[in-house]
Amino acid sequence: MGEPATLSASGAGGEVLRRECRRAEERIPRRLRRRTALRSARRTARHRHRHRHRHRHRRSSMDLRILPLAFTMMVGPQIMSAIIFVTAPRAVRASLAFLAGIALATTAGVAIMRGVAALLGKAVDTGHPSDKGSAGHIIQYVLIGLLVFAAAKNWVGRETAEPPKWLKSLMTAGPRKAFTVGVLLILLMPSDLVVLLTVGIHLQQHHANLGEALAFIGLTVLIAALPLLARLLFGRKAERAMPVVREWMNTHSWLISIIACGVFIALILSEG
């Protein structure tokens, strides 16, 4: 019987306390209340600004690290194919189809490798980018070792090195084949898969989504488009120069591969 009375008293006491609090607030000068509210709003705005600034800084820092990898994506048969398509009979149509294949494959490759890096992160913590002993850095060190081996192999076999035979068949390729070549050069080329895996690990370590790799994807496509842009801008001068460049790259494919490995190694080391 005593419990309801106690609850009632408690409720009445709470109502009295709330009424007193309201009266106390009303006794505070209106100017002071406005000033307090303004200060609170300013603190909230500063907090949001610092949060956005930290996010932009993290994103720009990550972009600067992965952007140079776009150059290694196109060094080798990739840029050689772009030059061959520019000298083909249906140059513009074939080149545009090739660029579409590059764009699609690069986007899909980044998304796939981002998922692979996420799965690896669940099994083995890739760690923070600043942690030299993290699993992510260990993977990069393994990649460096593989790249050094590949560069040494190209140097040893430089006397007998020849460009892939399938490059010659691109001279008569149409848009459909050019698109297919663009896709396969990205998704089946070991060097590009290594680059895509590196980008995926970066996205995982920075907790970034695919949207934050759009600059990398765009730069990759832009580099692939350089031969076509040169032809469109310089006309016949570019048409005369492209076959010469193509022949030089064919005879120095081993040197191009070594340069690609060296650039990739330098980029990985500079990120560390």
**pLDDT score, position 255:** 80
184 Cα distance to chain centroid: 19
pLDDT class of 132 with cuts at 50, 70, 90: low
**pLDDT score, position 184:** 94
Biggest distance spanned by C-alpha atoms of the chain: 105
Is 136 a residue whose pLDDT tops 90? no
**pLDDT score, position 135:** 60
**pLDDT single digits (tens) 152-167:** 887 887 777 666 677 7
Is 9 a residue whose pLDDT tops 70? no
- Rounded to whole angstroms, how far apart are CA atoms 101 and 32? 64
CB 193 within 8 A of CB 109: yes
CB 208 within 8 A of CB 120: no
Q: What is the pTM of this model?
A: 0.66
pLDDT class of 64 with cuts at 50, 70, 90: low
Identify the residue with better confidence: 37 or 139: 139
- Rounded to whole angstroms, how far apart are CA atoms 251 and 52? 51
Averaged confidence pLDDT in the chain: 76
Sign of the torsion formed by the C-alpha atoms of 213, 217, 220 and 226: negative
Q: DSSP letter at 134? A: S
What percentage of the chain reaches a pLDDT higher than 70?
A: 66
Residue 124 sits at φ, ψ, to 5 deg, of: -135, 125
What percentage of the chain reaches a pLDDT higher than 90?
A: 19
Mean per-residue pLDDT, 203-210: 82
**pLDDT score, position 173:** 85
CB 100 within 8 A of CB 178: no
Tokens 């895509």 locate to: 196
**pLDDT single digits (tens) 31-56:** 555 666 666 666 665 656 554 544 44
Q: Which residues contact 268 (CB under 8 A, 6 or more apart)?
A: 140, 143, 144, 198
Per-range mean pLDDT, top range of 31-40, 103-112, 211-220, 234-243? 103-112
pLDDT class of 106 with cuts at 50, 70, 90: very high
Mean per-residue pLDDT, 189-195: 85
CB 202 within 8 A of CB 65: yes
**pLDDT single digits (tens) 179-191:** 999 999 999 988 8
- C-alpha angle 75/211/132, rounded to 5°? 70
CB 227 within 8 A of CB 95: yes
CB 196 within 8 A of CB 113: yes
Tokens 């600043």 locate to: 130
Residue 57 sits at φ, ψ, to 5 deg, of: -65, -40
Among 85, 63, 65, 62, smallest CA distance to 185 is for 85
- Rounded to whole angstroms, how far apart are CA atoms 201 and 154? 27
